[in-house]
Structure 1
């Protein structure tokens, strides 16, 4: 025999809204980080980094040889007014950074950056390395 259970979809929708998420032990909160896609296109690297909610003034890109560093900082702008209390806050604030070695020296003079809709797009041309010369043995 089948059991029939009646549920209210609106109640299910709101059930977890005012409840704080469960944390299993200290330090289990996920640290925000920058998610990137890196592609190699011939003589350049193409990097797309997700930085939602950031302003382009708060993003810094540094090139040191073959090492790329991306840092961004978001500050809390919401002020709690008198008589108001926060029921839930899930937006993160603070500094995030990502640093990695691309394997080839980068030409910082020709590198370009564009920030659109929360995505940082970098075009990082490789530096022309010394040409290999084959010596003839006499």
Structure 2
């Protein structure tokens, strides 16, 4: 019970440079040299019949990629596993790991024909061809 301390809400107002004001400043230049969390960059184009999606997902196996299409909603997700080691002789100098997931979702302007959609993954780039469903013509009713 001797480790209890009374909370003072005004303690930070006294001296803002105490404790963690400069915390992390020394790590930021080093952190900038490291790779951050992976991101998924997309290009979306269309013609009269199809939407074309080009997603950059480097370093991912095609088994770890999931594509879901529901109506005009498209969702992409991937499990990312990255490991890096630097050795000098038999001694490991640096070892880094990243395990996580990236995902993107977007809405298209027209419904997608899911039965004719196709996906291809090579060299870190996912290519999707999403055929447009023929739009249903609106029918104007005559009022009698």
Q: Which residue in 2 is equivalent to 1:109? A: 115
Greater Rg over alpha carbons, structure: 2
Q: Tell me the number of residue pairs that the alignment of Structure 1 and Structure 2 aligns.
A: 113
Shift of residue 31, structure 1, vs aligned partner: 4.4
- The 1:133/1:117 distance shift into structure 2, 3 A limit, reads same
Q: CA deviation at 1:44?
A: 1.0
With normalisation by structure 1, the TM-score equals 0.67
1:136 positional shift: 6.3
Query: Do the aligned partners of 2:85 and 2:92 also contact (CA within 8 Å) in 1?
Result: no
Report 1:62-73 matches (<5 A). 62-73=68-79
1:60 CA drift (Å): 0.5
Moved more, 123-132 or 77-86: 77-86
Report the structure, 1 or 2, having the larger strand content: 2
RMSD: 3.0
- Structure 1: segments with no counterpart, 5+ residues: 1-18, 24-28
Q: Retained in 1: the 8 A contact 2:119–2:126?
A: yes
TM-score, scaled to structure 2: 0.64
Matches within 5 A, 1:5-24: 20-21=30-31
Counterpart position of 2:81: 75
Alignment correspondent of 1:48: 54
Listed one character per residue, the Cα deviations across residues 56-110 of structure 1 (whole Å, up to 9, x for unaligned) are 11110000111100000122456899842316x4x75410000010121111100
In structure 2, the gaps of 5 or more residues are 1-28
Q: Please give the alpha-carbon distance, in whole angstroms, between the structure 1 residues aligned to 2:140 and 2:131.
A: 26
Q: 2:93 aligns with which of 85, 96, 104?
A: 85
How far apart, CA to CA, are the structure 2 residues paired with 1:74 and 1:80?
Answer: 20
